[in-house]
Chains A and B, each alone.
Chain A
């Protein structure tokens, strides 16, 4: 093994992959743009609400009790007030999820501009034929123009049964209501109208039954103080959704992405060198093992640079939102260690496959099982993250080559495994890496100069024994 030759191969491998426009744009610029676009899209979706609906609502109230309450409840002032309250509640909810920190300050500062709908409720006589009202709406919709006076715009027709608030008899129960809307109303408008109808009907049912509504509300509301976890160190806030799902998932994705990208490039360049017939020229200068080692190291550089960029961006993002405490330095270090272990195993498989086939198309059939293997961490994500220390999670986190992925999820979860398990996993993976590299080197040596019929797993196995 000649180290300087290996490093020379590695340098070319890295340069030919990472120093290309395609890579820089695809792997670095695009994600960076995505990261920029997401907040923009969020902002846009908050601000770019559809214009609020304005118009009249016919209430055909056969009970004769409800329409006045509905009119009050849907009056412009009442609607405005309720929408403001709801916005405040949403802020509080966001604060509760994110915790008390800078992020919530920015939420506070963000002026949520709410465009509330304006309704004019028009009660109709109980004996009006609903078909006439429907015809008016049909004509308005057909004409396709909003009436000059926007309040003349017919939004909805509500028909309320006579027995909606008082049972005609005990067997049949309460009557119902039915709403007719013009097409393409905002979801919020429909919710507001239907909600107010139900609220009003309920109001009259309480009145008729002589039940104090406030008392019912009070009785049905059960509040609790904030939940805590009691750990060895003492009490702590129950872990939030973000730390128990997002961080492990992000770690898993980072690891998968970095090791797969490097591995995929390794496959491509190996197949290319082989189909270009440049490989024998190279073999006159370096041994197959030196070539493979150099290539694996070169692509490791590619994976590492991706990992560093994404980690850096991620950590910056967490610190910006004052959530830096969600990820520990140990986790970051372990991400890098497990990346190396996962990458070496994956890269060995890719080098072996790349050397065995004649072109990328042939590689597909051999890639399928490898890809299935790489899907396993995704499939195991939920069971592992729900119970990071269950028997299942513990066992799969020791099985190479998926062990690094599972272990990093466990480490990043809010219930990290004991240190000895992490150490054991690293040890097992190191042994596996040596084994994978050894097998890959054998296939690589034989495969590189084999042209013609694409091999299957049986021939690959023969090569391993042959070399």
Chain B
């Protein structure tokens, strides 16, 4: 594999007994990029990440990490925040971080300063001497994030890094991840909450039932999956769907949350259509609908058909999103 690839997987397959967890995945992640692995719970994200980390080994296929045959040879250059992340409850926060730092090959000289610097960065200066069990879950999670980046790794892999964080800490963590990315680190993170990926990633890998269903940049995905729809909130109220449906170029109108979704006929320019609609009826709000990763995901999985299965899947995804959105800031 080429040296510019931080991670590359070739036909990687993993089974547990009779269950196929990952089936023939090919991924190439260039150095310096920020990649999001998305997909619903149980899609195979964690298994894929564990294989990248050489915690699990693929049954078939080739894998290279930072130019080495396996992550074992470059463990000290990788930072990993597992989904199942724990902490030594009885250990002091400072000792825990220093322990992890030394396990990652850091020299004990200057380690104390590095640890304290990081605690300051995550706004937890006072916890150095506290026992880990005295911290709240969100605090522990930030400490665990520090444990994964303390040794200044070239490749950072974060499995569901945002789960369980409040909005303020979510923003802080996003800032820290952005910082790592802009200093040239490769970042891979997984999430089942797709909008988090939209906010951070420049490249998305979508995994469904153990297979890669999408592998593209966010911009390309947006263009490719343009829903050709406009969201409007008429001054006359949401009851005006029938009138709007009569406007030239509109295929059909359906109510969505706090707005009407206006789906356009093929070969109609959304910009012109917006103008036409605005001319016909005054609007409180009018905007081009941007495809969300959820929509893209559902379209890929269901082949674009609006079936009962698709609705069910959407409901499931939204339920998952809702739970995590309660703490989200946007």
User: Which residues of A does B touch, CB under 8 Å?
Assistant: 4-5, 8-9, 12, 16, 273, 276-287, 449, 451
Contacts and interface: CB of A to CB of B under 8 A. Distances in A.
9 contacts: A12-B99, A16-B90, A277-B82, A277-B85, A281-B82, A281-B87, A281-B144, A284-B148, A287-B72
B88 A284 contact: no
Interface string B88-117: 111100000001101111000000000000
A12 to B, nearest CB: 6
B7 to A, nearest CB: 15
B171 interface: no
Given A284-B75, A287-B72, A449-B55, A278 B102 contact: no
A284 B80 contact: yes
Contacts of B229: none
A12 B82 CA distance: 21
Given A8-B99, A285-B104, A276 B56 contact: no
B38 interface: no
B53 interface: yes
Contacts of A277: 82, 84-86
Nearest to A280: B82
Contacts of A451: 84
The 3 closest A-B pairs by CB, nearest first: A277-B86, A278-B86, A284-B80
Contacts of B144: 281
Nearest to A467: B57
B78 interface: yes
A169 to B, nearest CB: 87
Contacts of B85: 277-278, 280-281
Contacts of A283: 53, 55
A451 B144 CA distance: 21
B86 A279 contact: yes
A268 to B, nearest CB: 12
A442 to B, nearest CB: 13
Size bracket of the B interface: 20 to 34
B99 A284 contact: no
B218 interface: no
A65 to B, nearest CB: 81
Contacts of A284: 53, 55, 75, 78-80, 82, 148
Contact of A281 (B75, B102, B147): B147
Contacts of A286: 75, 103
Given A5-B103, A284-B78, A284-B82, 4 more contacts: A276-B87, A276-B88, A276-B89, A278-B88
Nearest to A9: B103
Contacts of A16: 88, 90-91
Interface of B: 50, 53, 55-56, 72, 75-76, 78-80, 82-91, 99-100, 102-105, 144, 147-148
B77 to A, nearest CB: 12
A283 B105 CA distance: 14
Given A8-B99, A12-B99, A285-B104, A278 B87 contact: yes
Contacts of B102: 8
A101 to B, nearest CB: 49
Given A449-B55, A449-B56, A281 B90 contact: no
Nearest to B78: A284
Contacts of B100: 281, 285
Contact of A280 (B75, B84, B91, B105): B84
A16 B85 CA distance: 20
Contact of B55 (A5, A273, A280): A280
A266 to B, nearest CB: 16
Nearest to B50: A449
Interface centre among A8, A278, A279, A451 (most CB of B within 10 A): A278
Contacts of B105: 4-5
B132 to A, nearest CB: 9
A16 B89 CA distance: 11
A287 B56 CA distance: 11
Given A280-B82, A285-B75, A8 B103 contact: yes
Interface centre among A5, A12, A284, A449 (most CB of B within 10 A): A284
Nearest to B84: A277
B103 A282 contact: yes
A75 B168 CA distance: 96
A460 B88 CA distance: 27
Contacts of A278: 85-88
Contacts of B103: 5, 8-9, 282, 285-286
B296 to A, nearest CB: 30
B185 to A, nearest CB: 16
A276 B89 CA distance: 8
Contacts of A285: 75-76, 100, 103-104
Contacts of A279: 86
Contacts of B88: 16, 273, 276, 278
A230 to B, nearest CB: 61
Interface centre among B99, B104, B148 (most CB of A within 10 A): B99
Interface centre among B75, B144, B147 (most CB of A within 10 A): B75
B87 to A, nearest CB: 6
Contacts of A281: 80, 82, 85-87, 100, 144, 147-148
A8 B72 CA distance: 17
Contacts of A273: 86, 88
Nearest to B75: A285
Nearest to A269: B88
A276 B105 CA distance: 23
A282 B86 CA distance: 9
Contacts of A287: 72
Contacts of B90: 16
